[in-house]
Amino acid sequence: MRKSLYYILLALAAGACTPEEQDNPFVGPTCYDGIRNQDEEEIDCGGRCQACEVLGTPVVTPCANSLKDNVVKLDGIEMTADSRNSICQVTSQGYRLYFQQGNTQIFVVIGGNTPYKDQQVYSLVPVSFPQAGEASIEYYEGSNGPFSSEKGTLYVRVKGGKVIAEFCDITLSNVWNGTGTTYHKVSGRIRCQ
């Protein structure tokens, strides 16, 4: 009997140390394990654990009420990307959100690492490879482009592990071989799939 009890306790202890511990009915709440599991909203908070702290004042995009998920408004014309054409990826230049509809492509590049905070604000710069803390927006239509963001603000939220980038009335420009500059206005919300 004593030997059986020893093996049962050993099995329970081993089960408590695995990443799947949230499925182990013998462990109970795991609100202090440093892992986002069970119904936690963030690591060790939310759901059945203590409420998560709200950090600072929420960042509100100035045109948030007029934005829709994966819809970009270019020169007043709305374009919607389907889920296959709204992608996020980590590149050597930073974190990139990609939006495509037909032959229109828009890239939002955030310099540095993957956004990890609930909300962040980035200054837009007119370069393809922004530095940490900066971002850029580029637009291509077929072989025309890049049209690059001149200045402005990019608002980024991270919710449920998904990155959401929002921008309002950003001027994009391209100088054509000394023949003049062409401009476009863009607003949108890109949510990674």
Asked, for residue 58, whether it belongs to a domain, the answer is no
Shared-domain flag, residues 20 and 104: no
Shared-domain flag, residues 69 and 31: no
Q: Which residues constitute the domain of residue 10?
A: 1-53
82-95 pLDDT tens trace: 666 777 777 777 78
Shared-domain flag, residues 120 and 93: yes
Shared-domain flag, residues 47 and 107: no
Asked, for residue 49, whether it belongs to a domain, the answer is yes
Question: Domain ends where: 16, 34, 53?
Answer: 53
Shared-domain flag, residues 107 and 177: yes
Which residues, other chains included, contact 127 with Cβ-Cβ below 8 Å and sequence gap of 6+? Answer: 136, 148
The mean pLDDT of the chain is: 77
92-115 pLDDT tens trace: 777 888 888 888 888 888 887 777
Asked, for residue 104, whether it belongs to a domain, the answer is yes
163-176 pLDDT tens trace: 888 999 999 998 77
36-66 pLDDT tens trace: 777 877 777 778 887 776 544 556 678 888 8
The pLDDT of residue 58 is 54
User: For residues 185 and 8, which has the higher predicted lDDT (pLDDT)?
Assistant: 185
The pLDDT of residue 97 is 85
Shared-domain flag, residues 105 and 186: yes
Asked, for residue 9, whether it belongs to a domain, the answer is yes
Question: Domain ends where: 53, 80, 97?
Answer: 53
User: For residues 131 and 59, which has the higher predicted lDDT (pLDDT)?
Assistant: 131
Shared-domain flag, residues 124 and 167: yes
2-40 pLDDT tens trace: 666 555 655 555 544 444 444 455 555 577 776 777 787
Shared-domain flag, residues 118 and 39: no
Shared-domain flag, residues 18 and 88: no
Asked, for residue 101, whether it belongs to a domain, the answer is yes
136-156 pLDDT tens trace: 999 988 888 889 998 899 998
Asked, for residue 59, whether it belongs to a domain, the answer is no
Q: Is the pLDDT of residue 124 over 90?
A: yes
Shared-domain flag, residues 145 and 184: yes
- In the chain, the number of structural domains is 2
The pLDDT of residue 152 is 92
pTM flag (> 0.85): no
The pLDDT of residue 51 is 74
Q: Is the pLDDT of residue 184 over 80?
A: yes
Give the chain as a DSSP string. -HHHHHHHHHHHHHHHTSGGGGG-TTT---TTSSS--TT-SBTTBSTTSPPPPP-SSPP--TTGGG--TTEEEETTEEEE--GGGEEEEEETTEEEEEEEETTEEEEEEESSS---SSEEEEEE-SSSSPPTTEEEEEEEETTEEEEEE-S-EEEEEEETTEEEEEEEEEEEEEE-TTS-EEEEEEEEEEE--
Shared-domain flag, residues 77 and 47: no
Asked, for residue 128, whether it belongs to a domain, the answer is yes
